[in-house]
Structures are given as structure tokens and as C-alpha cells.
Amino acid sequence: MQVPFADPLTQRMVEFLRSLGLQVRRDELGDDCFLPGLALEAGTLVVDESRLKYPGDLLHEAGHLAVLTTAERARVDGTLAAEGGEEMGAIAWSYAAARHLGLDLAVLFHPQGYRDGADALLENFAQGHYVGVPYLQWLGLTLEPGPAALQGCAPYPHMLRWLRE
């Protein structure tokens, strides 16, 4: 049996990510992590709860894994060199996950994240200006309003699937 995380918010996010099939494990991490208390090893999110400063970072990093193929996810070690669409897709994915979990968006878009662009992202998403959704639609994970209406399903932030296959 896995030991639950002490922070209920972290535990809730971890349970959600595991329910999707993403691997999350706890371990002690050093100071050399790309984000405080988070590392990626062989496609697994490794969490050091004692060093985790921003639990919302779990969702963003999970978003990076989610937009990769299963084979690509398994090879991820260290940091991800996400560019353009993948980065925007991870942002949109993490927003959809935060909404799905009913989280305060400030947990995801915290002031120390997104290269000091968190406030702009928070404002844009709050106004329904979603970056990265075309990329998620291209991957078959969600639909923008027009295509969703044609298919008779809910648009983004509703997700058709959470993981790229």
C-alpha cells in the first residue's frame, strides 16, 4: 500500500494522475531538481513532499507527460525540452485538470511559475482565452467549441481523453 501524501491537495492531485495511468512516486530529492520537490525519472513523476513548494506544478508536469506518446513518456528522464505546441498543450492540459478537480486556479498559476507569466495566464484562462487548446485538439484529447458542437459533446476544458496514446 502506498503511503498517502500529508497535504490533502497533493494527495488529491496524485490520486487523479494515477487514475489516468500516470506514474507518481514519492522519494527524497536533492536541490538539483528542475522544480522544487519534483523530478522526472523514466516517465514517472517523482515527488519529495518535504521540498515541494507548489503542488500545482504536479499538474503542469503531468501535462507535459500527457501530451507525449506512451513510448515517449517512458523515456523521459530529467527535464523536458518542451517547445511551442507541447508547452502550450501542457498549460492547457493542466488547466483542464485543475478545473476537473475543482481547484483554485491560483494553485496552478502561482506567482513563481511560468517564467513570471502566471498572472497573464490566470487572467487569460479566467476570461476564456485558452492557449494550447488547438494543440490538444490536434492530439484528439479535446475539442474547441465549434467542433464540439458538431459532435454533440462538451468543449474544452472538457477532455475526451487525458493521455495521448
Q: What is the pLDDT of residue 73?
A: 94
Residue whose grid cell is 495521448? 164
pLDDT band at 105 (very low <50, low <70, confident <90, very high): very high
Instruction: Give per-residue pLDDT as tens, 115-165.
Output: 888 999 999 999 999 999 999 999 999 999 999 999 999 999 999 999 998
The pLDDT mean for the chain works out to 94
Q: What is the pLDDT of residue 149?
A: 98
Q: What is the pLDDT of residue 10?
A: 97
Torsion of CA 55, 74, 115, 117, to 10 degrees: -70
Q: Cα separation of 131 and 93, whole Å?
A: 10
Q: What is the pLDDT of residue 69?
A: 94
Interval 9-22 mean pLDDT: 98
Q: What is the pLDDT of residue 83?
A: 75
Q: What is the pLDDT of residue 2?
A: 83
Q: pLDDT at residue 64 above 80?
A: yes
CB contact at 8 A, 13 and 55? yes
For residue 59, with 0-12 CB atoms within 10 Å meaning exposed, 13-18 middle and 19 or more buried, which class applies?
A: buried
Strand partners, 24: 45
Q: Cα separation of 59 and 63, whole Å?
A: 6
Q: For residue 126, what is its C-alpha cell?
A: 479566467
Q: What is the pLDDT of residue 34?
A: 83
Q: What is the pLDDT of residue 138?
A: 97
Interval 102-127 mean pLDDT: 92
Q: What is the pLDDT of residue 114?
A: 87
Q: Where are the domains of the chain?
A: 8-151
Q: What is the pLDDT of residue 103?
A: 97
- Say whether 136 sits in a helix, a strand or coil: helix
Across the chain, the runs of DSSP E, i.e. the strands, are 23-26, 38-41, 44-47
